[in-house]
Amino acid sequence: MLTFLGVALLIYGSMHLYALGKVWMVLPRSFGLTLALTLAGVVLTLSPLMVWFLERQSWHRATVATARVSYTWMGYPFSFLLLGLTIEIK
C-alpha cells in the first residue's frame, strides 16, 4: 500500500512540477510567484490525501468540497502534461 501511494504521489507530483514549472517560465520571476507556485504544487499534490483524511473523520461537507476541487484539478495537470509533451515532441 505504501509503495503504491509513494509511486502515485511521485507521478502526480511530477505532473504538477512539469505544469507549474512551465507556468513559472512564462510569468515574470519573483519571490512571491515562486512561493505561490510551490505552495500550490504541494497543496494540490496532497489534496487527494486530504480528501481521504476528511472522509475518515466523517466531515461530509468538507469532503465533498475538497473532493470536487481536488478531482477536478487532477485533470488539468494531466491534460497539460499530454499537451505539453505533444508540443515538445514536434
Whether the pLDDT of residue 3 is over 80: the answer is yes
Give the pLDDT band (50/70/90) at residue 65.
Answer: very high
Which pTM value belongs to this model? Answer: 0.76
Domain ranges in the chain are 34-90
Place of cell 504538477: 16
Task: Encode pLDDT of 11-50 as tens digits.
Answer: 988 988 898 888 888 888 889 988 998 898 899 899 999 9
> In angstroms, what CA-CA distances link 88 with 2, 28, 53?
33, 22, 37
Torsion on CA atoms 78, 86, 30, 49, rounded to nearest 10: 10
At residue 41, the pLDDT reads 87
At residue 53, the pLDDT reads 93
Give the pLDDT band (50/70/90) at residue 54.
Answer: very high
